[in-house]
Structure 1
């Protein structure tokens, strides 16, 4: 076969350009055979297995993308090549991380350790994610990655990991909705989650698990009253300020828009452009079923990814986020902080594949 003779000559060459040509030829042949339902000839597979790992790094970006798309579901691809592609640019890495049957739990944990938050989010979204990888994600505690994990209905989230995610949901509001819907949530853990969620999610939890919502509401009220008698904590003072920051008329307007199904994510940008930060906070809280105090905490923090998580949960896309972050910082004494690195982490929340994490 002329094709095999050509590839054999390229394989025997020491010219780096010929090695790239060999990789292109193998990829083309594999695509043609795949389209025709044929397996790669054994000699070609041997060539592919023997290619130097550095060859992938030398290849042009479009070739690496083709490799990733072609090898994502292959059960014969060289493991070292897959590992290299899995930590490439996120657009290249994503198909491998999502679908490669050859990536084991330890390979995925290595990606969590070595790669960017975008790669970590891709790992968290991988179908059928194993319990060891879930534990590693929870151990790292990145809000964006944990939120992606909570939205993965097929992830093997064991009891202890679910408890830790629910505990994290006290501060990371974007975790609450996906956790409330997760098939591995149990009635015991649902009662714990109940304390952190808004009215609509509480109703959903009561309906799903037949838990005693009235008793839990009473227990929460008692705990809140005891905390108030013991003295206002920093969080409580912060909460009071946040509640007082929007007038009753403004709050009524937002709720009226919401009831009429006229409150949309675009309103958030409009409020910021009009310099009405308090309206932004209240509208985001209503849209996402958050407490306004939680939104205020997110925009006052040093982690802009917390604000990004809340915005993703209500359907804001990546293209609008930079403008929103800039406007919030202008109106809120440069908060949320984090600088350029924080902004990069926050952009990573939106991921390369979908605008909805939650």
Structure 2
């Protein structure tokens, strides 16, 4: 105990062991624990320190045990048996250890969750990291507040099964649904379920942040539901499989000239290429070559084969030329700023688009800077 004693006086140790005053013993315990936690202990010093910690854990004074639990809550110095003893203590002692101690195994934490104390379940759910097994136990047996805390903890590894179980149990709880919806990443199956039960604001967040299944996106776009609608062009931007997305749109008769023109005007070239390929019975690669053919016939031939209205071809031609011109200027064609500038240039060319499409595009252009920032932050 040389390293420990170098930072403590003999009086500190005597106060910890022999003093009848609880406040004095607690002060000594705090000082000793802080010294141990900050010091570099040899193997022998660590063994000696852990013997003292076992002595503190048996102190009759709650104040002493709490001083140790709070001071060493995130330390690996506390022996496993002492951590378990403290976790079974009164809440004032147990909660700091349960919420932070790295010495607990998943089995320890699962046992705490299954014991059923709401405040202790919450402490487990709020830990700096929660494993998949512990998360699933909380999802299955945790109280509402613990499950909400778990869902709001992005450092908790909550898998698809656990998230779906949370929705099974707490779909009527607006707080739990919101906590799940605002997680950084969500499986598609969970997003789809939340769309059906979320509040207005949460539903709008889900629609703006996450890709939806094509059928859901089409349904929400076609039926201006009370609480949220979906812009299929925004969904195309998030869709990992554009060919499948366009095929589903076409199967629902939603892959229209209007939709493709709106996407093109907003710089969604990949969506145009895949959409024309789907309608023309071509491959996306061949469609891309024809769209960007510098000659006069490539785009026109593909457009006609897709069966789109002849009266709108000049609007599509203007959109493709605008995109290619900006691309030739070295513009980054992937960001929101590009799409905004693309839309501005497209509209200044008087492209001859239908009135309702122009109204839509101007509405998108007229978004306030705050709206753009919110959309990007989402």
- What TM-score do the two structures reach when normalised by structure 2? 0.48
1:32 aligns with 2:35: yes
**Secondary structure at 2:154's aligned position in 1?**
coil
The whole-number CA distance in structure 2 between the counterparts of 1:138 and 1:175 is 11
The whole-number CA distance in structure 2 between the counterparts of 1:55 and 1:41 is 21
**Contact 2:19 2:25 (C-alpha < 8 Å) held by counterparts:** no
CA-based RMSD of the aligned residues comes to: 3.8
The whole-number CA distance in structure 2 between the counterparts of 1:88 and 1:167 is 33
**Secondary structure at 1:126's aligned position in 2?**
coil
Structure 2 residue aligned with 1:56:
57
Q: 1:214 to 1:167 in 2, by over 3 A?
A: farther
Give matches, 1:188-267, under 5 Å.
188-211=189-212, 212-213=216-217, 215-216=219-220
The whole-number CA distance in structure 2 between the counterparts of 1:58 and 1:179 is 42
Structure 1 residue aligned with 2:74:
73
Give matches, 1:12-161, under 5 Å.
27-32=30-35, 34=37, 37-40=38-41, 42-50=43-51, 56-114=57-115, 116-161=117-162
Q: Aligned-pair distance for 1:111?
A: 1.3
The whole-number CA distance in structure 2 between the counterparts of 1:91 and 1:213 is 49
Q: In terms of mean alpha carbon deviation, does 43-52 or 69-78 score higher?
A: 43-52
Greater radius of gyration (CA): 2
Higher relative contact order (CA 8 A, sep 6+): 1
Superposed CA offset, 1:248-267 (max 9, x none): xxxxxxxxxxxxxxxxxxxx
Superposed CA offset, 1:321-351 (max 9, x none): xxxxxxxxxxxxxxxxxxxxxxxxxxxxxxx
**Contact 1:202 1:213 (C-alpha < 8 Å) held by counterparts:** no
**Secondary structure at 2:197's aligned position in 1?**
coil
**Secondary structure at 2:175's aligned position in 1?**
helix
Structure 2 residue aligned with 1:256:
none
Q: 1:218 to 1:61 in 2, by over 3 A?
A: farther
Superposed CA offset, 1:5-44 (max 9, x none): 959x97xx9x8979x999975652342355xx53245444
Q: Aligned-pair distance for 1:146?
A: 1.3
Q: In terms of mean alpha carbon deviation, does 82-91 or 60-69 score higher?
A: 82-91
The whole-number CA distance in structure 2 between the counterparts of 1:61 and 1:162 is 38
- What TM-score do the two structures reach when normalised by structure 1? 0.51
Q: Aligned-pair distance for 1:104?
A: 1.6
**Contact 2:53 2:78 (C-alpha < 8 Å) held by counterparts:** no
Q: Aligned-pair distance for 1:134?
A: 0.8
**Secondary structure at 1:132's aligned position in 2?**
helix
Superposed CA offset, 1:217-273 (max 9, x none): 88998xxxxxxxxxxxxxxxxxxxxxxxxxxxxxxxxxxxxxxxxxxxxxxxxxxxx
Question: How many residues in Structure 1 have an aligned counterpart in Structure 2?
Answer: 217
**Contact 1:73 1:96 (C-alpha < 8 Å) held by counterparts:** yes
